[in-house]
Amino acid sequence: MAAPLISVSDAPAPLSVQGPTPVPVNILLVDDQPGRLLTYRAILEPLGERLIEASSGEQALELLMEDEFAVILLDVNMPGMDGFETASLIHQHPRFEKTPIIFVTAVNVTDMDRLRGYKLGAVDYVSVPVIPEIMRTKVTVLAELFRKRRELQLANERLAAANEALRDEKARELEQLNTSLREANSELAARNQELSREMGERRLVEERMRFLADAIPSIVWTAAPDATVTYANRHWTEYYGRDPGGGPGELIDQVLHPEDAIAVRERVLQQLDDGVALQFEARHRSRDGQYRWFLTRALPWRDADDTILSWFGVTTDIDDHKALEERLREADRRKDEFLATLAHELRNPLAPLLNALNIRRLSAPDARDPLQDMMERQLALLVRLIDDLLDIARITRGKLVLRKQVTTLDEVLHSAIETAAPLIESGGHRLRLQLPSPPVPLHADRTRLSQVFANLLNNAAKYSDPGGSIELIASSDDGGIEVRVRDAGIGLAPEQVEHIFELFAQADTGIERARGGLGIGLTLVQRLTEMHDGQVSAHSEGLGRGSEFCVHLPVDPGLAAPEPGSEPETDARAQPPRDRPRLRALVLDDNRDATDTLAMMLDLLGLATRCMYDPADVEAVVADFAPDVVFLDVGMPGRSGYDVARALRAMHAGAGPLLVAVTGWGQPEDRRRTEEAGFDHHLVKPPELQAIQEICAVLEQRRHGAGP
């Protein structure tokens, strides 16, 4: 049977030894801190035992192979081989499987840690700071028990020797044999008394263990091999209002919330039947009918033949923790919604700004204006930051959908280079490109995958000093493709590499460098790469030594590269013939600046325009003005653009005006909604000049098809 577990708070008093001075026994002190070893020696030296020290688990194992020890004081938290691993190795050896171990720990241990220690053969835990009287008491008891066991072993050996002598001498030593037998019987009687005393101590230990279970702030219970509850601490009755007992099926039906009972019944019963550890969360009904969340863990206790003797379980109240988790999830959801709304609302003031720049560009298309170029670059950067903000909010909320199609790595990387070219050229950087041959086909969302490499190239340009060198090197093998973006810029510290892909992480927070950025570009890189079943990693030799980002993507060996094709080129900016009447455009937006600037731009493109700021009378204006195209803001107060589009479609049974939605939302779901409402085109604010020109070209084609 296993040695009794001795409680810290209720250790028995030291045994008084009468008669001759007992032979000192070996006590092994194992701790990696010399100061603690010195403390243990100072506490235990008054016992008169042989104290042997070890500074590690490995040294302790070596000492155990050389000598026998009555008790081992073992530090739990040691570098390398910790106390739990050392205890496991000690008790795996048949010679030391019953050697008692007292764990010493300087940190609070959980119930599961204690259970783990007891399963490894620990008889008790001692917390630091150590109370000398308690430690001496525990060690005294275990040392005395060791002596008693050794005495019993010696007595048995002497008895065996006596029996052997009796067989050898027989009649010649009959009287001496009888005397020896009487002495042996007397000694055995003493040993029996000692065993009886030990049994009494074991019963006392069991009572103390029950007291300890009641002190634990959880429902602690044990069950028979068939999982019928046989014992539970006082918290069971206090919460459930019933005595411990019942089988698993009965308790699931009577205690758990009906929804949770359905969810966990089959799995729990199967795990109990398989004899494996189980863990589940469920709502438990209290004695007053209220439900609270609990976490239940249970382990089977097996004998040497792997037969389950009983189950040991702990059911812990986690209701407050679950409520906190829900509040955190709600806060995170609101944060994502705020980011998405913020990005959407920022698009509204950008629309008139971009419209004004387009008007300036159309008014003097051949003029070279550095201020115009600068404003267009900065506005494009601002739009890109807003797009990144929207993308990270969509990914976090699981609303970003990839539109995968067959493309090539060359197309993706050249698109990324085109996107990052303005920043690379403004910094005077040299870009070295190396691509595999022949082109590698991919099944991917070309736009999003191009965004991954454009972000990496932009970062390389942003965090490199002017005139730096940037490398974009791609290679392929049977396992996939690998694309590396290297720079010789500011580099990364080891701690930065570890967190560089986290949201809002910044590679350079110093004011003197002022690199800018929101800290979301690399987060987008990681999320979009993972959505393509790929991986991205960062590497740097240190600050000032550049960085390298490696993207690994899977490749379908059976995928063929798309056939090269060409699209007919059209001059989207072609002006209508002077002898034709001007096409008419109605612009409707509650934002006056956005409405007026878009109308001015359309006027420069050759259209006759009319502005509206309130959708209330739109049907009358359309009937009077007869526009060829209507640009509608979707999110207007009082009457949305969706309602206006449906009303305009209802006015025209046949062909009506071209309806163009102008909105800050551009996800597939948003485009689907505008299409269902009757819109022909979907423009995301701020609308780009090229998109407006393409719509004007469509209008000319429609008029040409209809005749002069």
Model pLDDT, residue 671: 86
* pLDDT for the residue numbered 572: 40
pLDDT in tens, 453-497: 988 998 899 889 899 999 999 998 777 899 999 999 898 988 888
Q: How far apart are CA 4 and CA 7, in angstroms?
A: 10
Instruction: Please indicate whether residue 306 or residue 393 has the higher confidence score (pLDDT).
Output: 306
What's the confidence (pLDDT) of residue 566? 41
**What is the spatial distance between Cα 646 and Cα 492, in angstroms, rounded to a whole number?**
55
DSSP annotation string for 356-400: HHHHHHHHSTT---HHHHHHHHHHHHHHHHHHHHHHHHHHHTT--
Radius of gyration of the chain (CA): 41
Per residue in 237-268, pLDDT (tens digit) is: 999 998 888 888 888 888 999 999 998 989 99
CB 150 within 8 A of CB 194: no
Q: What is the C-alpha to C-alpha distance for residues 383 and 391, in angstroms, rounded to an integer?
A: 12
Position 294 pLDDT exceeds 90: yes
Q: Work out the pLDDT band at 534, boundaries 50, 70, 90.
A: very high
Q: What is the pLDDT of residue 507?
A: 61
How confident is residue 15, by pLDDT bands cut at 50, 70 and 90? very low
Cβ of 153: how many Cβ atoms within 10 Å?
A: 10
Reading across the β-sheet that carries 101-105, which strands appear in turn?
50-54, 26-30, 71-75, 101-105, 122-127
Kindly report, residue by residue over 45-79, the tens digit of the pLDDT.
999 999 999 999 899 999 999 888 989 999 988 88
Q: Is the pLDDT of residue 581 over 90?
A: no
Q: What is the reported pLDDT for 51?
A: 94
pTM above 0.85, yes or no: no
How far is Cα 58 from Cα 36, in angstroms, rounded to an integer? Answer: 18
Indicate if the pLDDT at residue 175 is higher than 50.
Answer: yes
Strands 219-223 and 229-232 turn out to be: antiparallel
Per the model's pLDDT, the better-predicted residue between 646 and 703 turns out to be 646
CA distance to 16, 26, 133, per residue, from 9 (Å): 20, 25, 11
Lowest mean pLDDT of 161-175, 431-445, 677-691, name the range: 161-175
* Structural domains for the chain: 26-200 (3.40.50.2300), 216-317 (3.30.450.20), 339-392+571-708 (3.40.50.2300), 405-553 (3.30.565.10)
- Alpha carbon separation from 389 to 144, 447, 503 (Å, rounded): 71, 17, 11
